[in-house]
Chain A
């Protein structure tokens, strides 16, 4: 495979392989070596719990904002949204907007108050004025569930990227690449803790946004910096969709079910972002609520700017590569951005974009692993299992072991999941975060009468309802095959197996309101109320009192 020179391969024939896998691997290797060197230089050595979980809360708002963008713009955003816009035009764009608007929830309601009332984990905030043990156990369960779904989706994505970009299609070779990705990620986390991981995310964000900006400028230049001309060219080059690319409906407008499904999905996106544990964890890496505010400001500018670039990249891929070639490539829609890079800048630009795509997975997975290991070590081991009586060294040791275990789970999960239809897992992670986490976060920050029973009802109710609804939804079983007699696009590909009784792909429409309702119901049926802790939490959340001490512990 590697002897094929990319230049000799016309793009239209590039169904199996474009570019130079060796070059792609070399650029990815350079990223890994470069970032590992930086991680070792800035962040190696023994660590306190605070250093391991939050980098000692020593990042500036701007640094953290860039890292948040690096954490949030996963391969699903980068490759998935560009591909969705290339193939479904307007509906792909519509999908991207939810991911941005969601940050306003974090900005206005969550980031600053969370920074002021917590120290290491989401459970710090949720258990602040409630009964520690049950609330920490519930929160940890939901954190682990959300992070696991997100992690699995990323690792399976790594498997798909391998066959697309490295020309590695053999089963064993793909597994080896997944294991390498997992191994490098564990190294980042163990050596660098949150400080090292943050730097990886910052570097990745800069590369990703710069690479996308170059492609965008290149595409626009080809169309005389006239977006309308670009859109027209995209429609002209899409025989099937044509001018429908400018209108809603190609993806979500097929039937009433798909329409309601999109409403359900957009609820999960907008309300889920501010409940994603690995996003919340990032607010603890800065010293004050003002720096947390600054972080979200930077994140919104970068993420919003990035999605605007993606709009051009997506239509550019439709105009210059075309839907037929994209659909014929391995990875289909996910191949749109890489194919466009190849069309514009040949193997070199494709290599750069491929390297960035892998870097994306590494950075996102490392952030998820730190967050999950903090939950295991701080919430479950320290607070629940040892009831707070534990030396700091022991806690960090447990966190490191947890990181290794999570890394191994990610590798094994990625290997098993790589050939499955599990793209729905990202949406599920958002839905669970919006159902099980966000209601409790908002209630505990803003509602005086909220109490332990309300928290438990809301967390477990949101978690269980969203997972049960997904299990009985068409994403798990029973979707009609795309071609007569072919496999079902559901997770269970055998079309004869069908236990889907819930019609929507996304559970949010039911599970989010249900979790809010259960949080209210649990609270009003219990008399528990701790006025002193409530006053302490409210005063601290708004004034930032006590944050400095918490940081310097």
Chain B
């Protein structure tokens, strides 16, 4: 699985890891997924805490027999689908070309 041991300065992974392009790729990835994760966790646990500790508010009828809690719950579905869509689009358009380019460069180095 692993590449043969070399002197550290020659290691292609260490070399690539220290390039600005790779640091940019890493920053880009984390800059997208960490805030997104923070958002959906906060929104989900916010919804859970409201359901648990504010049942009166969540049980308020919005219309007919549909309550605010049910609407916010359906909102969880909407945001989950939306995040999935937004992430996939971002990854396909913004992330993949950069990652593929770096991967290809690594192929050249390791095959050379």
Contacts and interface: CB of A to CB of B under 8 A. Distances in A.
Nearest to B11: A532
Contacts of B100: 543-544
Interface residues of B, number: 57
A503 to B, nearest CB: 16
Contacts of A104: 36-37, 40, 80, 83-84
Interface in A494-553: 531-533, 535-536, 538-540, 542-545, 550
Nearest to B8: A532
Interface string A219-233: 000000001110110
Interface stretch (A25-33, A89-97, A415-423): A89-97
A105 interface: yes
Contacts of A300: 80-81, 84
B64 A228 contact: yes
B80 A545 contact: no
Contact of B37 (A108, A231, A235, A533): A108
Contact of A94 (B40, B51, B102): B51
A142 to B, nearest CB: 22
Interface string B41-54: 10011011101110
A103 interface: yes
Interface of B: 1-3, 5, 8, 11, 13-14, 16-17, 22, 25-26, 29-30, 33, 36-37, 40-41, 44-45, 47-49, 51-53, 55, 58-59, 61, 63-67, 69-70, 73, 76-77, 80-81, 83-84, 87-88, 91-92, 96, 99-100, 102-103, 106-107
23 contacts: A94-B48, A98-B48, A101-B40, A104-B83, A107-B83, A109-B33, A112-B91, A228-B64, A229-B64, A235-B65, A246-B61, A246-B66, A248-B58, A266-B44, A266-B45, A290-B96, A297-B84, A304-B77, A531-B8, A531-B14, A539-B17, A543-B99, A550-B1
Given A531-B14, A540-B13, A543-B99, 12 more contacts: A98-B44, A104-B40, A104-B83, A112-B91, A235-B65, A253-B55, A263-B52, A296-B84, A304-B80, A532-B8, A533-B2, A539-B106
Interface of A: 90, 93-94, 97-98, 100-101, 103-105, 107-109, 112, 119, 124, 227-229, 231-232, 235, 243, 246-249, 252-253, 259, 262-263, 266, 270, 290, 293-294, 296-297, 300-301, 304, 307-308, 446, 531-533, 535-536, 538-540, 542-545, 550
